Structure 1
Amino acid sequence: METTASAATHRRVGRLRRMAISATATLIMLLVTIYLGISTYAASVVTLPQRDAIVSTPADFGARFDEVRFPARGGDVEIAGWYLPQPETSRAVILVHGKDSSRSTEFQGRFSEFAAQLHKRGFAVVMIDLRGHGASGDARFSFGLAERRDILGAVDWLITQGFRPGSIGVLGVSMGAASAIGATAEEPAIGALVADCSYADIRPLMERHWTKASGLPDIFLPSTLFMGRFVLGMDLTTAQPVREIDDIAPRPVLIIHGDADAFTPVDHGRALAAAAPEAEYWEVPGAGHARSYEVDPQRYVERVANFFAHHLGR
């Protein structure tokens, strides 16, 4: 009897153990599924850009402009822009806004003012909306990996308008600056670059802002980046302008960064400058993120205009 009872007890314990293992495995699979599901959703949501309404145009500051549209290089999306023609010059500058901004709203709504100032100093100007922003075609943002093709599309368009390689400059702000670094490294027709408050490497910036941007704890960042490869078809962590900027040499680069930038700390600007020892570096005292123009508009315009005037082919 004791042997029979012991065997029965042993079988019951075995069944309970198997049930516990099965329940644990099911729970783990459920948690992994939920974890990956949330990560996939987060990858989908956090890569959707915001579209800003137009707050001003170059005409508000005395500059005539034309509405233009052209394909990004590769033809995957149509880019909207404003073209400020300048018959007296053979030099053009492409202005590129940052994430969740536009050709109108960058520089706290003063991008048109800045463009008009460059125009008055003798430059033709193209102001573009990056993909997924403003009036350009729908797309997710990729921290400059795809957006560089929007800038290259603007370069291609300017060449069709008669501008020669080497006579085209680019000024980018924030993600626009990171995109511009990649575009300039890739395209020798770009004669000079101004990069304002670019990140050096997107990964530490993601880690810095992840919880605020997504509403999720840090544990979801690695899986969201992993699932982002399927959502976007690219690895966002490869957005590393610091690895590309030295490829621009010997063409001139001006790096601008505010020392009070709380979004992309000034260490990023210093890292870019260290990676490109031939570049000019201008650290603006008291300037926050994308606010160097706001701190001293006249000095900003003079510094940028003189840089392009000196380096772009006539």
Structure 2
Amino acid sequence: MIIAIIILVAVAFLVIVGFVLSNRVIKPRQIPYEETYRIEVENGRMDPDWFEEVEKEEIWVDSPYGYKLHGFLIPNDNSERTVIICHGITYSLFGSIKYAKVFHKLGYNIIVYDHRNHGKSGGTNTTLGFYEKHDLAAVKKWVLERLGANTRIGLHGESMGAAIALQYLSLDNEIDFCVADCGFSDLEELLSVRLREDFHLPSIPFIWLARFFAKLLTGANLKEVSPIKSVRESSVPVMFAHGAEDHYVPTYMSEKMYRENNSKNHLLVVPGAAHAASLPTDPITYEKEVESFLRKHKLL
């Protein structure tokens, strides 16, 4: 009887931890839209004067999953070059404005938008790219319809946004470039790191259980959320940027993806920068490296 109780308790513990882990992925704690604006401004990462003064248009794009994606188009003197910027998890498009200013100075139109289950966009769960990459396809289609079929399009993503942008490359090789800032190389590998670092737990069997519950609740297969696989399949040039002191998404993940095709790719590791802090930590180097990368591939 005691043994049976112990077994039941152990099984219940495994199931609960697996369920909680899956919910940390598919139901992340959301920071309210207006709060993300305040955080960006107060931390000096966003120039509110530039954002308020620059010409922009609020847009709504139809997701293939039946909800609306909210965003802004920031045009740039009839430019035929556009960059679509993808923000990180729990956040909103305001996390993308610091990058928007960089690309706007380089002559690009800008699209920033809220991912599903974030900001003002619809959707009830987050899958870190499994469904989001198809939303990105809808945004790209909108850009071509609005700005013309000759528009050259690049991508920029931060953290989860970088993972989404990289996974999109496996769907579409007609992208001119991608800048992937502090993205993870493989979701289950990242979850294993977080289990070990945050909870001192092994990856097996908790990763299996999290995958099961995520599939049950959303239909998404977390095992397929693997940006490094898309990098291997794609010929699109990628600039990887990562903070040397990133203890949330380990820096080695960008280094590993960079090595998959380093003849076309570029790597910037910013000393002293934490997660998603490469541009704020060293804006001069970051902007210079982005410009150099674009010039190398004749995108300026």
Question: TM-score range with shorter-chain normalisation?
Answer: 0.7 to 0.9
Q: Answer yes or no: is the 8 Å Cα contact 1:166–1:189 preserved in 2.
A: no
Aligned residue number for residue 227 of structure 1 = 213
Q: 2:26 aligns with which of 43, 47, 54?
A: 47
Aligned to 2:168: 183
Take 2:48 and 2:295, find their aligned partners in 1: how far apart are those partners?
23
Is 1:241–2:220 an aligned residue pair? no
1:212-242 alpha-carbon deviations (Å, 9 max, x no partner):
87x7955644323322210121221321111
1:304 pairs with 2:290: yes
Contact persistence 1:58–1:115 (CA under 8 A): no
Residue 15 (structure 2) pairs with residue 36 (structure 1): yes
Instruction: Indicate whether 1:60 and 2:20 are aligned.
Output: no
CA shift for structure 1 position 170: 0.3
The alpha-carbon deviation at position 46 of structure 1 amounts to 4.3
Paired residue secondary structure (1:231): helix
2:248 is aligned with 1:272 = no
Conserved 8 A contact 2:73-2:110: yes
Deviations 1:78-105 (A, max 9, x none): 211011012331000001111111111x
1:98 aligns with 2:88: yes
Instruction: Look up the match of 2:110.
Output: 125
Of 61, 82, 99, which residue of structure 2 is paired with 1:70? 61
Contact 2:87 2:93 in 1 (8 A): yes
Q: 1:189 offset after TM fit, Å?
A: 2.9
Rounded Cα–Cα distance in structure 1 between residues aligned with 2:239 and 2:209? 36
RMSD of aligned Cα (Å): 2.8
Is 2:178 the counterpart of 1:193? yes
1:139-181 C-alpha deviation (Å, 9 max, x unpaired): 3111221111221111011011133367000000111101101
CA–CA distance in structure 2, aligned partners of residues 271 and 88 of structure 1: 38
- Are the structure 2 counterparts of residues 178 and 46 from structure 1 closer, same or farther at C-alpha, using a change threshold of 3 Å? closer
Alignment equivalent of 2:73, drawn from 65, 71, 83 = 83
- Higher radius of gyration, 1 or 2: 1
**Identical positions, percent:** 25
Residue aligning to 1:141: 126
TM-score by length of 1: 0.80
Deviation string, structure 1 residues 226-274 (Cα, Å, up to 9, x no partner): 222101212213211111102221x321111121111111110111011
Q: What is the rounded CA distance, in whole Å, between the counterparts of 2:180 and 2:138 in structure 1? A: 19
- The one-letter code of the counterpart of 1:199 is F
Residues 54-112 of structure 1: per-residue CA shift (max 9 Å, x gap): 3168763131111001023x2443211011012331000001111111111x2xxxx32
| Letter paired with 2:72 | W
Deviates more, 1:271-280 or 1:53-62: 53-62
Letter in 1 for 2:32: D
Taking the aligned partners of 1:205 and 1:38, their CA distance within structure 2 comes to 16
Pairing 1:285–2:271 present: yes
Instruction: Provide the residue aligned with 1:15 in structure 2.
Output: none
CA distance in 2, matches of 1:38, 1:204: 17
- Runs of 5+ in structure 2 lacking a partner? none
> What residue number does 2:152 align with?
167
* Structure-1 separation of matches of 2:200 and 2:21: 9
Task: Tell me the secondary structure at the aligned position of residue 43 of structure 1.
Answer: helix
